[in-house]
Amino acid sequence: MFSKMTRLLWIGIVLVTLLALAACAPAPTPAPTAAPPTAAPKPAATTAPVATAAPQATTAPAPTAAPKAAEPKKLLLGFTASQTGAQQVASKKQIEGLQLWLDDVKKAGGIKLKDGTTYLPEIKFYDDESKTDRVQTLYTKLINEDKADFLLSPYSSTLVKAAAVVSEQNDKVMITAGAADDATMEQGFKKTFQLYTPASRYLTGAADALKKFVPTAKKVAIIYEKDSFSTSVANALQPYAKSIGFEVVLFEGYDTGTTDFAPFINKITAANPDAILGGGHFADGTTFSKQLFEKKVPIQFVAILVAPPEPTFKDIGDAALGIIGPSQWEPQVTFSAESAKAANLPYYGPSNKAFTDAYLAKYKESPSYHSAGGYAQGLVLQKAIEDADSVDPAKIVAALDKMNLMTFYGVIKFSTDAKTHGKQQAHGMVYMQWQKDSAGKLVTQIVWPLEAKSADAVLRK
């Protein structure tokens, strides 16, 4: 009897403790993340904006006339980030870039309209765990419960595709970065705008580079991760490679999450290609390159997606050497006020050097193109608000439709065609390669297009 009562007592204590803990829990799941991901945790999304500071010429776009005593209005930007799961690495970089933009806007005193109204952007995001079902739920929450004014995108084509459906259904403006899938932007969207060069143009430049760097090359193997983005790239690359005279000796996809590429590499070697083009995302691209190196595959030209531009790609050591990667942006790009003038385009935002230096100072590592895309997301929205002189969504859409300018990230122009509305038209890829500098250290160089190159391409041995 005593034992039974003691047990019941214990159960009671445990239940009460659990209830108490549940009552003390700060918020229902999913917990919103309002603070910058790399900074020390901060409590809430609605933290007071940083006090207005003097605009900084090196970082912020030219601010308009400063209002006096006008209380800045809050502008809530909502999105999801992959803080866990497969897209974690690239997503983190994207948010870091966005956070840097936010810092710059705050330093500049916010986004100012001609009537003196100032908007101070704040961000609110949730962890989507790299899952599409989470994205759809969380974007609905951002729109309906958090009342986000504008939406930014998660990272990766698959997740953006899911987010765009929700944002369009709810008539919200969304600027996307980290998404290059063509099909997503060919659905007649009204308020979704894409910053990345579409997937169909991701590796076509690599095929051109192959023709130039290895004139004897005739046969290519196209291998790709079987996801939306990589499949888009491969499907566009195959006809292009054929059209410029290459024979595609292998065209094959592999599952997301593949870790052992050894048998696949044997198959590729058996097809005897002169080059390998394709890939997928960071984890598979890194493993593939490493195993290619370990198996001493004597293919001179290897261009793969996503992984090479990441600074941590060099962790695989000499296996990174010679690997080429398409990049939306690299620290060595030459977009500047001068090149904008030469192209008869307006230039907007910080210089490339200012962005790179500020990022390096804040995060102690070089920015990747994901970081630049994150910054550009905010920058483009800021420019649209300034051009529209309003935060009215219809006016913002009109401003984005008219936009044709150069930033440190490249040229930005969106399609206004009904079917492909919002699809990126002007931004182009650069191709970087891992090489060794004079000290034997692994560094990245831009090797294509030739007019943007920072070094000559080196063929793999």
Residue whose CB is less far from other proteins, 314 or 362: 314
Dihedral over Cα of 293, 295, 298, 300: its sign: negative
Peptide bond before 331: cis, by omega within 30 degrees of 0? no
Rg (Cα) of the chain, in Å, rounded? 24
Can you tell me which of 4, 68, 296, 441 binds other proteins, judged by CB under 8 A? 296
Q: Count other C-beta atoms under 10 Å from residue 103's C-beta.
A: 17
- Could you tell me if 301 and 460 are in contact, meaning their C-beta atoms sit under 8 angstroms apart? yes
> What is the closest distance, in whole angstroms, from the C-beta atom of residue 346 to other proteins in the complex?
39
What is the 3-state secondary structure of 150-177?
EEECCCCHHHHHHHHHHHHHCCCCEEEC
Burial of 30 (C-beta count, 10 Å sphere; 0-12/13-18/19+): middle
Residue whose CB is less far from other proteins, 363 or 413: 363
> What is the closest distance, in whole angstroms, from the C-beta atom of residue 442 to other proteins in the complex?
12
Residue whose CB is less far from other proteins, 145 or 318: 318
- First vs last C-alpha separation in the chain: 80
> What is the closest distance, in whole angstroms, from the C-beta atom of residue 126 to other proteins in the complex?
16
Binding mask 76-115 for other proteins (x = CB under 8 A): --------xxx-xx--------------------------
Q: Count other C-beta atoms under 10 Å from residue 82's C-beta.
A: 26
> What is the closest distance, in whole angstroms, from the C-beta atom of residue 220 to other proteins in the complex?
18
Residues pairing with 445 in the sheet: 433
- Cα gap 284→307, rounded to integer Å: 8
**412: which 2 tokens?**
């930005």
Residue whose CB is less far from other proteins, 130 or 356: 130
Closest CA to 241 of 199, 275, 198, 288: 275
Closest CA to 355 of 381, 326, 329: 329
Binding mask 367-406 for other proteins (x = CB under 8 A): ----------------------------------------
Can you tell me which of 30, 37, 67, 253 binds other proteins, judged by CB under 8 A? 253
For tokens 């210089």, name the residue. 351
Binding mask 222-251 for other proteins (x = CB under 8 A): ----x-------------------------
Can you tell me which of 132, 287, 404, 425 binds other proteins, judged by CB under 8 A? 287
**How many residues interact with other proteins (rule CB under 8 A)?**
32
Can you tell me which of 259, 334, 366, 416 binds other proteins, judged by CB under 8 A? 259
Residue whose CB is less far from other proteins, 85 or 449: 85
Residues pairing with 75 in the sheet: 121
The number of angstroms, rounded, from the C-alpha of 33 to the middle of its chain's C-alpha atoms is 19
> What is the closest distance, in whole angstroms, from the C-beta atom of residue 270 to other proteins in the complex?
4
Residue whose CB is less far from other proteins, 293 or 348: 293
> What is the closest distance, in whole angstroms, from the C-beta atom of residue 319 to other proteins in the complex?
9
Residue whose CB is less far from other proteins, 126 or 282: 282
Closest CA to 410 of 369, 438, 458, 378: 369
Can you tell me which of 38, 266, 334, 416 binds other proteins, judged by CB under 8 A? 266
> What is the closest distance, in whole angstroms, from the C-beta atom of residue 235 to other proteins in the complex?
15
**273: which 2 tokens?**
């290609």
- Examine residue 58 and tell whether it contacts other proteins (CB under 8 A): no
Amino acid, res. 205: G
Binding mask 300-319 for other proteins (x = CB under 8 A): ---------------xxx--
Contacting residues toward other proteins, per CB under 8 A: 84-86, 88-89, 226, 252-255, 257-260, 262-264, 266-267, 269-270, 282-283, 286-287, 290, 294-296, 315-317
